[in-house]
Each structure stands twice: as C-alpha cells, then as structure tokens.
Amino acid sequence: MSGSITEVNKDTFWALIAQAKEHPGGPSEWLMERLMDLGPEQAKKFDDIASAYTSLAYQYGLWTAASVMERGGCTDDGFIDFRGWLIAQGREVYMAALADPDSLADATDYQDQRFACLPHMGDRAYEELTGREIYEDFDPARYSALKAELKKDIVYGEGIGYPYGWWDVPAYLPKLCAKYMTPEKLTQLAEGRVDTWNLSSLEVRAARANAQKSKKIKKDRGDSR
C-alpha cells in the first residue's frame, strides 16, 4: 500500500506508478501528492529513476516500434514521449519491450495517453517542494551508479540496437505491424525506400554499420547485417 512506502527505490518506483493508475480520475495528482508527502529527496529519487529508465530505453529497435505505433514515423521528441508512455505501462511491459519490442502489440493501445505524464511527477514535486529546478541539483556520479544498477535487471533483445528501415520492419515487428499499420501503408513505405532516420547522424550511421540486425530478419531475408 502507498502508506507503507517511505523510500523510493526501483521497486517502490514501479509500485507508485501502478498505484497511481488505480486512480483514473486523477492519477498524476495522486502521485504528485504522494511524492510531496515523501519529501524532496524521495521526489528526486523518483525523477532520477524515471530518467534512468528513459535513457536505458534509448534503443533503435524500440524507436522502430514507436514509428510503427505512430503509424509512419517518430521524431526525437516523439520518442521521448513514447518512452514516458512505456514507463507508465509498468515494469512488466517495460522489461518485455526491451527484450522484444514486438511484445508491445499486447500492451494498451498507444493512442491511450492517460498515464504518460506519471514519470514526470518527481520533477514537478521537487520543484514545488524546493522552488528549485531539479537539474540544479543533478549529481552525475550518483546518477551513473543508479543507471548501472537499474541496467542489471534489463535483458535487451537481440537486434534491438539496429535502426531498421521500413523494408525490414514487417519481419522485425510482425505483430505491431498487424495492429498499427495496413499492408498497403507498409508496402508504400518499403517500396518508396522511405527512411525515417536522419542518415546524416553519425550515431545512426555507426549503428547501421556496426549493430547486428535481428535474426528474424536474417532468417526471413538472408541478410548478413
């Protein structure tokens, strides 16, 4: 129960997300109140954990899934919003998506954004309690250690680091494509060789050159990369 939570850690973080969603009339308001009751240190811990999980979900295969769920592409800002939505779905959905982005076909429809603001409540509670922006008290070493600790629980799916083109998407994300895209739309994007990635980005180009594609694509198409 929420009354028994006195400290925010990786377990109580997810518990607070789940409990907030039990208050459909005002989940963000409920979570804001709980974090303010816990005080600024715990509100900051909540925000640090949310930020770390957001960063750990920065994977091109997941971004590809977001592009499908957006029905044709996902911007940088859109992917930030997507990861907030993903965290708000809870630990089970989050971990499953990093193991296999196609598992999101079984999650709540992406158009349902009721809970997407929940991961941001720590930031808002901290500012309300202290009058300071949370970034002013950022501790890089503490954050890096937290991120490394949270990463230990994550099993990344093979091929999740590759920025897929539309011609590979149906093989990589068959269930998501069936749920969010029409065959005609997918064919149009693939045959047009439409690429949603910024190919002038050195990061994207490095991932295209060095990251491995999912074995599902290699099996389907016989690609070596």
> Is residue 188 situated within a structural domain?
no
> Is residue 220 situated within a structural domain?
no
> Is residue 217 situated within a structural domain?
no
> Is residue 33 situated within a structural domain?
yes
> Is residue 179 situated within a structural domain?
no
Alpha carbon of residue 157 to chain centroid? 14
* Count of domains forming the chain: 1
Contact 101, 65 (CB under 8 A): yes
> Is residue 175 situated within a structural domain?
no
Checking if the pLDDT of 2 tops 60, the result is no
> Is residue 187 situated within a structural domain?
no
Contact 14, 90 (CB under 8 A): yes
Residue-number span of the structural domain to which 14 is assigned? 2-159
Structure pTM? 0.92
| Single-letter code of the amino acid located at 16 | L
Q: Name which residue leads in pLDDT, 8 or 25.
A: 8
> Is residue 81 situated within a structural domain?
yes
- Give me the residue label for tokens 């804001």: 32
**pLDDT of 43-92, one tens digit each?**
999 999 999 999 999 999 999 999 999 998 899 999 999 999 999 999 99
